[in-house]
Structure 1
Amino acid sequence: MELAIKIFQFILSISILVILHELGHFLPAKYFKTKVEKFYLFFDPWFSLAKKKIGETEYGIGWLPFGGYVKIAGMVDESMDTEQLKQPAQPWEFRAKPAWQRLIIMLGGVTVNFFLAWIIYGCLSFFNGETSFDTAKVDAPMNYTSVAKGMGFQDGDKILKVDGKTQNNLDKLALDVLLSDEITVLRNGKEVTFPTNDDGKAMAFRDENPKAFLTPRFPAVIDTIVNAKTAAAGLKVGDQIVSVNQHKINYYDELTGEITKNAGKNINVEVLRAGTTQPLVLEVSKDGTIGVSSYKQMTKFYETKHFSFGESIGRGFTRSIESLTYQVKQFKLIFNKKVQGYKKVGGPLAIIKNMPVDKARDGSVSIDWTAFWSFTAMFSVWLAFLNLIPIPGLDGGHVIFTLYEMIVGKPVPQKILENAQMVGVIFLLGLMLLIFGSDIFKMVTGGF
């Protein structure tokens, strides 16, 4: 059931993005009286799942879910149908239109993608607000794993700035650190700035959750007990565990570390209760747990900010730019020789696996609509950026050739357009096969 919901979300999100992107090309083309021969959701090599011709345009659904397209008469596109181009240009063809009109038609898709992200982010801010973990409210230093120490952090460091900027949102802080060049911390009472080590970043990317190297610290005050044996041994909600086998415990992460080391054994603990310490003997399971939690106290560090309608408009724009900036910055990790972030790049199967779902306590699974729309907005602005890359076969390739014509005063020769389009299509098909093949390889070898 969970897989079915994830697949449905992926198809729904992609369908929304593709239809609106192609509508961004379709509407200005029709406005400028350019003939649109096809409007397709997904690609239809050899056959389509459904199609219907209305007026001069055939609307359909293809079977290959890698995007979609509008086929505009008189345009060199991914169909590589050049027979029409051998004939004299007709007034209703793309090639017969002024360069500025062709430029608007080609930029229509990415424009719609960006505005869609803007609208979604704005609506999310207005209706849901924005909830974040405020690290400024935490007095204790962060818990730095071996990965964080590999980047240059030391126990006791308090992060002040990342690349010269303050960041108090925990989720963004971890990502900022991964993308950073230098960190400024308060270390032993002094400000220290150090370059972030790529070796540590490489270690982070080998973990299933690359951002898990940075977690807030809080006392080991027990707020939940689910193990009957632990409760029977005398541990109570509100107790603070201060030592395990005579090892002093200051924070909850230190407690879990000591418990894990004693899997399958009994441990001697001291708890602070009503101002006095009491000794207890607790049984640790073979899995290295005692069935307790201390995370409810973290709720006081979360903050939800609400926005008025007017504020949400500006916030939607800002979030779109932030999303795009983060994604573009990640390129330097993807192509970094040490970090090798490209190994984390996934295609459709990886995206489906990571689609968000809402899991209830009874085990039922449903769509987390807030997460779904957040993903759709992020993916929309990402598609806008990717389509602007000047590669023949993408909108950016057509835009570059059109801008060249507007600057030089004459069009690029038709043969060059055709050859460039062919090279671009082959490159993009090869890239899709590589990404999809990587997904299959990871699935077969357990790399997901």
Structure 2
Amino acid sequence: MSGVWVQVVQFLMALSLLIVLHEGGHFFFARLFKTRVEKFYLFFDFLFPFSNILPFSLLKKKIGDTVWGIGWFPLGGYVKIAGMVDESMDKEALAKPPEPWEFRSKKAWQRLLIMLGGIIVNVLLAILIYAMILFVWGEKRMPVSQMKGGIEIRDSLGYKIGLKDGDHILSVNDRQVYYYDDIIDELIYAKTITVQRNGKHEVITLPKDYISQMIDKRKAFFGVAYAPTIVEVTKGSSADKAGLKAKDYITVLDGVAIANNVIFDSIRLANKSKLVSLVYVREGKSYQTQIQLSDSGTLGIQRGGLSILDMEKLGMVKLDTHRYGFLECFPAGIRMAGEQLNKYIRQFRLILDFKTKAYKGLGGFASMANIFPQQWNWEAFWTITAFLSIVLAFMNLLPIPGLDGGYVLFTLIEMITGRKVNEKVLEVATTIGLVLLLGLMLYANGMDIFRIFKK
């Protein structure tokens, strides 16, 4: 299976799980308060948000009072709760007197819990997944002290804003960083970056349009610098004759310590056609050999990108690892879910600040699928799924009619004032909210299409 299809499969698995459990939260509280649920659907069985356009199911079966099904439009899913103004806009049913088993006949606090059910499940799911990730794999972080070669620029934007290969990042916005992921988390909000360069501290002031430029790239413009690592040796090449093998990494070339690929390239290009000394590491042990460089300075090796975990396996770095016991992992899961929610809220604020142009980073299905790795990795899959569950909970809590948060807002108004919001007002507000959601969906997925053709 190709890398792209691995991403697509992971995305569909995560999306389906989150939809079913979110709608299951609504279903649970509805049935708890003896409210009839007429439909429970994974994906929409109509062209959302137009319930009368292309109404058909891929699969459906009625069990009791509920029709369970799979729709054809994979935007989300829904439960149709009797006596509720929702995506179906069933005005005929709402024109009749309320029945005891309908949503509108229930007490305000019961309706509030029914509408919060999906959000509650999403939060609990994220906590559970994070807890199990910490229990099974633990928590691994790279201290900046382990970044011996500093950073390595991977896109011209890095040079444009003033960074250089080999820089050691000390602080972002005057906030000292202790771990590499602290740098990544703070980078999107950065106004200044303090680096250590050639033994001196330098403060880099970022341009005002920095965030929009970074979002345009949609990729990391720097990473952890590491010694050149071999993924393949060309048969019969100088490297092959010198005894080099895949997974070896080079630490010294022509007497110069090689902390990153940039230094390696500069040394090999300066010694074209020469016989030079080379030191490499294999399974934790160093070996020295002589190697003949070609007229163009090549050795006959193919280098590959490494993840932080790959670097740890090869012995390049030592990560700080914390293992969690079964009882210990649950409080840690709550803490981790809270941290991820805080990060997303900060990013959401940037999107609302039009000066930053962060709204250009919005994306649809393709963007969400693209955050999954192209090689199957269960830890990565569950980590991303937990984050998406947090995002789904937050977005659904927004007070927009048509989303859970819109219904929550109207119910809270009723609980405070003691008067129900008029159903005609609910219908109009829901229609407006659904149109806004449709516009946002078209914009986000349109941006994905635009980026594909822009490449």
Does TM-score exceed 0.5, indicating one fold? yes
1:174 aligned to which of 162, 184, 191: 184
Residue 253 (1) aligns with residue 270 (2)? no
Spell out, residue by residue over 1:384-425, the C-alpha distance to the aligned partner (whole angstroms, 9 max, x if none): 000011110000101111111111121112211110000011
Identity %: 39
Answer whether contact 1:241 1:270 (CA < 8 A) is retained: no
Give the drift of 1:250: 5.4
Q: How far, CA to CA, are the matches of 1:222 and 1:89 in structure 2? A: 70
Alignment correspondent of 2:293: 282
2:88 aligned to which of 75, 79, 82: 79
Alignment correspondent of 1:44: 45
What is the letter of the counterpart of residue 190 of structure 2? Answer: S
Q: How far, CA to CA, are the matches of 1:223 and 1:438 in structure 2? A: 37
Moved more, 387-396 or 250-259: 250-259
Q: What's the C-alpha RMSD, in Å, of the aligned pairs? A: 3.6
DSSP 3-state at the match of 1:419: helix
Residue 88 (1) aligns with residue 105 (2)? no
Answer whether contact 1:52 1:58 (CA < 8 A) is retained: yes
Q: How far, CA to CA, are the matches of 2:212 and 2:75 in structure 1? A: 31
Change in 2 beyond 3 A, CA 1:349/1:255: same
Q: How far, CA to CA, are the matches of 2:152 and 2:401 in structure 1? A: 47
TM-score (ref. length: structure 1): 0.82
2:277 aligned to which of 266, 271, 276: 271
Give the drift of 1:327: 2.0
Give the drift of 1:222: 6.8
DSSP 3-state at the match of 1:91: coil
Equivalences, count: 430
What is the letter of the counterpart of residue 316 of structure 1? Answer: G
Q: How far, CA to CA, are the matches of 1:69 and 1:226 in structure 2? A: 54
1:394 aligned to which of 377, 389, 403: 403
Spell out, residue by residue over 1:252-275, the C-alpha distance to the aligned partner (whole angstroms, 9 max, x if none): 23235437978xx94547536699
Answer whether contact 1:229 1:283 (CA < 8 A) is retained: no
Q: How far, CA to CA, are the matches of 1:156 and 1:286 in structure 2? A: 22
Alignment correspondent of 1:368: 377
Alignment correspondent of 2:66: 57
Alignment correspondent of 1:319: 336
Change in 2 beyond 3 A, CA 1:432/1:240: closer
DSSP 3-state at the match of 2:56: strand
Give the drift of 1:80: 0.9
DSSP 3-state at the match of 2:34: coil
Alignment of structure 1 residues 14-413 onto 2, 5 Å? 14-45=15-46, 46-143=55-152, 147-148=157-158, 150-151=160-161, 153=163, 158-163=168-173, 165-185=175-195, 196-210=206-220, 212-216=221-225, 220=227, 226-227=233-234, 228-231=236-239, 234=242, 240-242=251-253, 251-258=259-266, 266=272, 268=274, 270-271=276-277, 281-283=292-294, 290-291=301-302, 299-334=316-351, 340-358=357-375, 367-413=376-422
Spell out, residue by residue over 1:173-221, the C-alpha distance to the aligned partner (whole angstroms, 9 max, x if none): 22322223444555787776665444444443343523x32434x5x57
TM-score (ref. length: structure 2): 0.81
Structure 2 portions without partners, runs of 5+? 47-54, 281-285
Q: How far, CA to CA, are the matches of 1:213 and 1:394 in structure 2? A: 38
DSSP 3-state at the match of 2:101: coil
Q: How far, CA to CA, are the matches of 1:32 and 1:337 in structure 2? A: 43
Residue 432 (1) aligns with residue 441 (2)? yes
Spell out, residue by residue over 1:312-331, the C-alpha distance to the aligned partner (whole angstroms, 9 max, x if none): 11111122122222222223
DSSP 3-state at the match of 2:70: strand
Q: How far, CA to CA, are the matches of 1:339 and 1:388 in structure 2? A: 24
What is the letter of the counterpart of residue 302 of structure 1? Answer: L
